[in-house]
C-alpha cells in the first residue's frame, strides 16, 4: 500500500525474491512526496530534491533496476555556496581531507569561524552515536554567529527540515557523520536530471511488472481486513487477497486506513508527530536565462530574505530558464498569499541575479507535511507489528536519519526482508539485512 520511494523499494525487493507483488497507489503518479505533478501543461516536481552519495540503499536499488541509473543524476562534489557570503568546494580526489581542506580555505569565514566548525566536526567524529540528544541550537553553543548563520543553520534546515531550536542533535550528527565526514563519495550532491517519478519509482514499477506484479494507480486502499492466512485489501474498485502486506503510506495518512488494532503499532507512535512544510517556487524565464551555478544557497544572504536555495533546472534537467526556489521548514512566509510570495521570490532573485529578465510565469507548490519534525528524542516506530505478515515502511520508521528518500528506501528494504522471512522467500544477497 503506497507507491512512494519506500513502497517501491519494498516492491522491488519482494519481486526480486520471487513474490508476485500488487502495488496500490492512491495518486495518479508514483513517487508520493517525490513525484512529478502537472500544472497547466507544465511538468514539475512536487518539490526540488537532492540526493547524497551517502544514499547507498537507494542508489543500490536504482542500479539494480537500471544499471544506467547514474546517468539520471548529476554528481557535484561537496560545494557550499552561500551567495556572496561564503564559498567552499571540496576537491573530490582528496577524500575526507578534501572536506577539511575546503573548510580551511573557505571564502567568507574568518579563522575563528573555521576553527569552531572544524573542532565541532572533529568532536562529532569521535563522539558516541548514543550521546544524549538535545536541540541543535544547544549543541552549537560556542560557535560563531557567522558560522551558525551561513553554515550550521542552513545545513540543519536542508538536512532535517527542522529549525535548529527544535531539531535533534543526534539526527543532525548522523547526517554529518555519514554524509559530510564519510568521504568524497558519500558527500557528493546528486541532482536528478529527470523528474522524480521517472528517476526511480516508475523504473521500479517496470521491474515489478516484469516479475508478474501489478500496479494499481489512483486506487486508494480504504480498508484492510485480517483473514486466517493473510489479508483482504478493499479499494474503491475491488477486494483483493494478499498473503502479506507492506503498509508504505505517509505517517499522516495512516490514521485514514483505520487499521485493525493488532496492526496499529505505528499509528499510535505517529499520533505524537509534528510536521514541517517545504515550499518550492518555480519561476520560468526565457530559455536563455541561467544562473552561474546549478545550485546557490541564498539563506540569510539578503536582509529579510525568504529564499533558502535556488536550483537552475536548465543545468540539471535541461528545462532551460526554469529556476526552482526552495523555502524550508517553518517560515513566516508560508502564511502569505501565494501571489505575494511568488512576487517576493521574483524580486529577491532579481536582487541576487540582476541579469535575470522578467519571468514568464511562476508557480508555488506548498507541501504542508513535507517531513516529520526531527524532534529531540522523537520515538519512531520500528515497523514491526504482532502479525509477521504485515510491516510498515516509510521515511518515519526508526533510523538514525531524518525524513529522506534514503530513509524511505531503507525502511522498504527492511520491511521486504521481514515479510520474505515469514513467507520463506530468498532475498537477493545484495538486499539481505
Ligand atoms: C518538497 C519536498 C522536498 C524534499 N526534499 C528532499 C530532498 O532534497 N532529499 C531527500 O532525501 N528527501 C527530501 N524530501 C523528503 C522525501 O520526499 C520523503 O522522505 C520521501 O519521499 C518519503 O517517501 P515515503 O515512501 O516514505 O512516503 P510518501 O512519499 O509519502 O509515499 C506514501 C504514498 O502512499 C500513498 N498512499 C497514501 N494512502 C494510501 C492508501 N490508503 N492507499 C494507497 N496509497 C496510499 C500516497 O499517495 C503516497 O504516494 C522532500 C520532501 C518534500 C515534500
Condensed to tens digits (0 to 9), the pLDDT of residues 307-342 reads 999 999 999 999 999 999 999 998 677 678 889 999
Nearest CA to ligand 1 atom 52: 370
Domain ranges of the chain: 5-35+54-71+192-273+378-431, 85-187, 275-372
Which atom of ligand 1 lies nearest, measured to the CA of 49? 8
Query: What span, in angstroms and rounded, lies between the C-alpha atoms of 419 and 245?
Result: 8
Q: How far is the CA of 32 from the centre of ligand 1 (A)?
A: 4
In the reported structure, the alpha carbon of residue 64 is separated from the centroid of ligand 1 by a whole-number distance in angstroms of 21
- Across the range 192-208, mean pLDDT stands at 97
The whole-number average pLDDT for the span 277-305 is: 95
Ligand 1 centre and the CA of 250: distance in Å? 6
Nearest-atom index, ligand 1, CA of 32: 49
- CA-nearest residue for atom 27, ligand 1, is 250
Closest residue to atom 11 of ligand 1, CA basis: 404
| 104 exposure class (CB count in 10 Å sphere: 0-12, 13-18, 19+) | middle
Q: What percentage of the chain has pLDDT greater than the value 70?
A: 100
Contact 319, 286 (CB under 8 A): no
Residue nearest (by alpha carbon) to ligand 1 atom 12? 404
Confidence band of 61 (pLDDT split at 50, 70, 90): very high
- Looking from the CA of residue 5, the nearest atom of ligand 1 is 25
At 415 the pLDDT is: 98
Mean pLDDT within 209-227? 97
Measured by CA distance, the residue closest to atom 13 of ligand 1 is 404
pLDDT per position as a tens digit, 378-389: 999 999 999 999
- The residue whose grid cell reads 544524549 is 132
Q: What is the mean pLDDT of residues 165-174?
A: 97
What grid cell was written down for 329?
Answer: 521548514
More confident residue, 260 or 288: 288
Please state the rounded mean pLDDT for residues 259-272: 89
As a whole-number percent, the residues of the chain with pLDDT over 90 amount to 86
Which residues 6+ apart lie within 8 Å of 310 measured at CB? 291, 295, 296, 298, 323, 324, 325, 326, 349, 352
pLDDT, mean of residues 114-135: 93
- Fold classification of 275-372 (topology level): Polyamine Oxidase; Chain A, domain 2 (3.90.660)
CA–CA gap between residue 144 and residue 43 (Å, rounded): 42
Instruction: Report whether 89 contacts 307 (CB < 8 A).
Output: no
In the sheet with 189-192, reading across from the earlier edge strand, the strands are 51-52, 189-192, 73-76
* Residue 37 CB coordination number (10 Å): 19
Burial 257-284, CB ≥16 within 10 A → b, else e:
bebeeebebbbebbeebebbbbbbbbbb
Query: pLDDT band at 197, cuts 50/70/90?
Result: very high
Residue 335, pLDDT score? 77
**Per-residue pLDDT for 145 more than 80?**
yes
- Going from the Cα of 58 to the center of ligand 1, the distance in angstroms, rounded, reads 14
The protein residue with its alpha carbon nearest to ligand 1, atom 2, reads 47
> Ligand 1: which residue has its CA nearest to atom 4?
49
Q: Where does the pLDDT of residue 2 fall: very low under 50, low under 70, confident under 90, or very high at 90 and above?
A: very high
Superfamily of 5-35+54-71+192-273+378-431 according to CATH: FAD/NAD(P)-binding domain (3.50.50.60)
Quote the ligand 1 centre to 7 CA distance (angstroms): 10
- Any residues with Cβ below 6 Å from ligand 1, and which? 1-7, 24-27, 32-34, 47, 49-50, 220-221, 248-250, 253, 257, 278, 280, 367, 370-371, 394-395, 403-406, 408
Q: State mean pLDDT over 168-190.
A: 94
Residues 6 or more apart whose Cβ sits within 8 Å of residue 426: 17, 18, 420
Q: Is 24 exposed, middle or buried (0-12, 13-18, 19+ CB in 10 A)?
A: buried
The pTM for the full model equals 0.96
Separation between Cα atoms, residue 179 and residue 406, nearest integer Å = 12
Asked whether residue 198 carries a pLDDT value surpassing 80, the answer given is yes
> What pLDDT shows up at residue 98?
82
**pLDDT value at 258 more than 90:** no
Tell me the CA–centroid distance for residue 100 and ligand 1, in Å.
33
Q: What's the 248 CA to ligand 1 centre distance in angstroms?
A: 9
Ligand 1 pocket mutation, candidates 3, 4, 205, criterion most atoms within 8 A of CB: 4
When pLDDT is cut at 50, 70 and 90, the band that residue 71 belongs to is confident
Q: Over 90: is that where the pLDDT of 269 sits?
A: no
Pocket test for ligand 1, best of 34, 186, 204 (most atoms within 8 A of CB): 34
Average of per-residue pLDDT across 78-99: 87
Spacing, Cα 181 to ligand 1 middle (Å): 27
Check pLDDT > 90 for residue 281.
yes
CA pair distance 409, 394, nearest whole angstrom: 8
Amino acid at each position: 500500500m503506497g507507491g512512494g520511494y519506500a513502497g517501491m523499494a519494498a516492491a522491488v525487493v519482494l519481486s526480486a525474491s520471487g513474490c508476485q507483488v500488487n502495488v496500490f497507489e492512491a495518486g495518479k503518479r508514483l513517487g508520493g512526496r517525490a513525484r512529478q505533478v502537472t500544472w497547466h501543461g507544465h511538468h514539475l516536481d512536487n518539490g526540488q530534491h537532492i540526493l547524497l552519495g551517502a544514499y547507498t540503499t537507494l542508489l543500490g536499488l536504482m542500479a539494480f533496476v537500471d544499471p544506467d541509473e547514474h546517468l539520471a543524476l548529476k554528481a557535484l562534489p561537496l560545494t557550499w555556496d552561500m551567495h556572496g557570503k561564503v564559498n567552499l568546494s571540496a576537491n573530490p580526489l582528496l577524500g575526507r581531507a578534501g572536506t577539511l581542506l575546503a573548510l580551511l580555505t573557505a571564502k567568507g569565514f574568518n579563522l575563528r569561524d573555521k576553527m569552531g566548525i572544524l573542532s565541532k566536526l572533529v568532536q562529532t567524529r569521535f563522539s558516541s552515536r548514543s550521546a544524549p540528544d538535545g536541540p541543535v541550537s544547544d549543541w552549537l553553543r560556542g560557535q560563531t554567529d557567522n558560522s551558525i548563520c551561513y553554515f550550521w543553520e542552513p545545513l540543519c534546515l536542508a538536512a532535517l527540515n527542522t529549525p535548529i531550536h527544535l531539531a535533534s542533535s543526534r539526527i543532525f550528527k548522523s547526517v554529518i557523520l555519514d554524509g559530510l565526514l564519510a568521504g568524497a563519495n558519500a558527500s557528493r550532491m546528486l541532482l536528478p536530471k529527470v523528474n522524480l517519478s521517472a528517476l526511480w519509482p516508475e523504473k521500479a514499477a517496470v521491474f515489478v511488472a516484469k516479475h508478474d506484479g501489478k500496479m494499481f494507480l489512483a486506487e486508494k486502499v480504504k480498508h484492510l481486513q485480517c483473514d486466517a492466512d493473510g489479508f483482504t485489501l478493499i479499494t474503491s474498485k475491488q477486494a483483493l487477497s494478499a498473503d502479506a502486506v507492506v503498509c508504505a503510506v505517509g505517517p499522516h495518512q495512516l490514521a485514514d486506513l483505520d487499521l485493525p488494532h493488532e496492526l496499529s503499532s505505528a499509528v499510535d507512535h505517529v499520533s505524537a508527530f509534528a510536521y514541517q512544510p517545504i515550499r518550492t517556487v518555480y519561476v520560468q524565464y526565457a530559455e536563455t536565462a541561467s544562473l552561474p551555478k546549478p545550485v546557490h544557497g541564498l539563506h540569510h544572504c539578503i536582509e529579510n530574505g525568504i529564499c533558502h536555495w535556488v536550483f537552475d533546472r536548465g543545468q540539471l534537467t535541461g528545462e532551460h530558464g526554469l529556476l526552482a526556489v526552495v523555502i524550508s521548514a517553518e517560515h513566516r512566509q508560508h502564511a502569505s498569499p501565494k501571489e505575494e510570495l511568488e512576487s517576493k521570490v521574483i524580486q529577491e532573485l532579481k536582487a541576487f541575479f540582476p541579469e535575470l529578465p522578467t519571468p514568464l510565469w511562476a508557480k508555488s507548490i506548498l507541501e504542508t507535511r513535507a517531513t516529520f519534525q526531527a524532534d529531540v528524542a522523537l520515538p519512531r516506530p520500528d515497523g514491526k507489528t504482532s502479525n509477521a505478515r504485515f510491516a510498515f515502511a516509510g521515511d518515519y520508521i526508526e533510523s538514525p536519519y531524518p525524513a529522506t528518500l534514503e530513509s524511505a528506501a531503507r525502511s522498504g528494504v527492511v520491511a521486504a526482508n521481514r515479510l520474505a522471512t515469514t513467507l520463506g522467500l530468498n532475498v537477493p544477497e545484495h538486499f539481505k539485512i
